[in-house]
Amino acid sequence: MISLEQARRNMVDNQLRPNKVTDSRVIDAMLSIPREKFAPEDMRGVAYVDEDIPVGQDRVLMEPMVLARLLQAAEIGAEDVVLDIGGGTGYTAAICARLAATVVTIESDGRLYRDATRVLAELGFDNAVTIRTPLKEGYPQQAPYDVIVFSGAVEEIPEHILSQLAIGGRLVAVVARPGSAPAARLARNCAGTIAFVTLFDASVPCLPGFEREPGFVF
């Protein structure tokens, strides 16, 4: 039976590198973070499989390849401030904390919030803070952010969350609109105008509170 450390390396070599993950900082971060620490005890043996890992409350650790490609597209710099929405048990925040100066991760569920706070502290991440708050508002108290990451899919990206991006800021999310194939998207704040780019097809469970507003029906 292979060790979890070897499984982590296999994840990088067999899932990330063959799927267009080339950013050495993202690869190094995912090599250095023990993903199993953020998984439920009964799922730790499969923490490095190429699929989402359920953590409870209909939430998941995103498939490693999807997360890595999102963070690569976000181009997180060493001086950046990152907002992680729907942080779950804290894995996305931990990866971002290896890349950025400061990470604010918000979580609405009490148990997931406590798990994330505990694990991030145990691993010594003093540049990541977990805040319990409703997800749908983001966290304007610390805005603007250089990068915003959704740790789960959304049906739409609310304007008030886009408004929390700094000029030049990037937002990455899997957008899963009803009737359309889900896809990872990048939004960039270009001097106050938001420009969107579709990155790749991806399927991730949706975060609560980000359902698309119904339009008029005739």
Question: Beta strands 193-201 and 183-190: pairing type?
Answer: antiparallel
- pLDDT-based confidence at residue 81 (cuts at 50, 70, 90): very high
Residues 6+ apart with CB under 8 A from 134: 108, 209
* Cβ atoms of residues 156 and 187 within 8 Å: no
Q: Checking DSSP bridges between strand 145-154 and strand 165-175, what pairing results, if any?
A: parallel
- pTM, entire model: 0.95
Q: Minimal CA–CA distance to 27: which of 58, 64, 53?
A: 64
pLDDT tens digits for range 199-210:
999 999 999 888
Cα gap 106→135, rounded to integer Å: 7
pLDDT in tens, 118-164: 999 999 999 999 999 999 999 999 999 999 999 999 999 999 999 99
Q: Which residue has the tokens 């982590």?
A: 8
H or E segment and range at residue 170: strand 165-175
DSSP states along 92-146: HHHHHHHHSSEEEEEE--HHHHHHHHHHHHHTT-TTEEEEE--GGG--GGG--EE
